[in-house]
Amino acid sequence: MGATVTETAAIHFIAASTVKAHYRRVVAKYEAAGRLVENKAQLMVELIADGWLDSPWACACESRRVG
């Protein structure tokens, strides 16, 4: 979340071109479904809304719950 292509590639031990290819495929799937994604931030919001990613703020909110 928020990492550059190079950072993401290093974290997952893959090539930067692989990260870019996955990004393009995901964006293409959203566009095929009629949901235009114009940038990485918007894609992240869509992925969180669709349940593919957890919100980066979820952990912080859950740790504040009392119960």
Cα distance between residue 9 and residue 22, in whole Å: 11
Overall residue count recorded for the chain in this entry: 67
Which 3 state secondary structure label does DSSP give 31?
helix
Higher pLDDT, 1 or 52: 52
Report pLDDT for 6.
Answer: 96
Enumerate the domain spans of the chain.
Answer: 5-63
Q: Which of 63, 44, 49 shows the shortest CA–CA distance to 1?
A: 44
16-66 tens-digit pLDDT: 999 999 999 999 999 999 999 999 989 999 999 999 988 777 665 555 555
Tokens matching residue 29: 């799937």
Tokens matching residue 30: 């959203």
Would the pTM count as exceeding 0.75? no
Q: Which of 66, 33, 3, 37 shows the shortest CA–CA distance to 12?
A: 3
